[in-house]
Amino acid sequence: AATSPPAVVSWARARPTRTPKTPNRAQPIPPLPKDAGAKTIADLDQLRYASGPLSTAEIRTEMQKGMQANAAVYRTNEVLQEGADMIDAVNDKFPDVGVTDRSLIWNTDLIETLELRNLLACASTTMHGANLRKESRGAHALEDHPDRDDENWMKHTMGYFSEETRRSTIEYRPVHYYTLDEEECKTVPPVARVY
């Protein structure tokens, strides 16, 4: 966990070594471009004036039910593949969302649509990352692969979602088996979780 003692020690140890590399606070902040924030406002207005036939609630409910059915703690390869296909299909519906409230004051319809857009990206990367991982690890049990597989899967899953294609890309990066100062804080080797 991020709040584990080794993580805190590592962060505290890294801070003094990183500080000299941070920007000089005495230097003036460069001026913002003339169009700073314009893309954000255009993005907000695009959703605020979305006039598709599907409500935010319809798409959110389909996503929610699909994730509950296909991304539970106990999973199979078949269920995960169904989930990956399902979340892609739900993501394809988001461009057809409609927002009925065009106001800027207490616009819960707009806020829920923005939340849904973010949730769909999270759901997609979660579902596709889980579908590709062929092992059981921690609290996630894949019934087709009941054991932990450190040789092939001791790596971090990196999920990226494209707003343009509405698809996730999954990549991996290695786990670091060292601390910043091995004399001060030794590496804790991984062990299987047992109950």
Helical (H) or strand (E) element with 142: strand 141-142
Distances (CA, A) of 170 to 113, 128, 161, 190: 25, 7, 9, 23
**Token pair of 163, please?**
């707003």
Residues near 169 by Cβ (< 8 Å), separated by ≥ 6?
159, 160, 161, 162
Q: For position 177, what pLDDT does the model report?
A: 86
In the predicted structure, residue 2 carries a pLDDT above the cut 50: no
Q: Hey, how many other C-beta atoms are within 10 angstroms of the C-beta on 62?
A: 16
CA separation for the pair 121, 141 (Å, rounded): 23
Q: Choose the weakest-confidence range: 25-29, 45-49, 124-128.
A: 25-29
Long-range contacts, 23-27 (Cβ 8 Å, 24+): none
90-134 pLDDT, tens digit per residue, is 999 999 999 999 999 999 999 999 999 999 999 999 999 999 999
Global pTM value: 0.80
Q: How confident is the model at residue 1 (pLDDT cuts 50, 70, 90)?
A: very low
Which is higher by pLDDT, 189 or 59? Answer: 59
Quick one: average pLDDT of 141-168? 94
The answer to whether residues 56 and 97 touch, using CB atoms and an 8 Å cutoff, is yes
Q: For position 16, what pLDDT does the model report?
A: 57
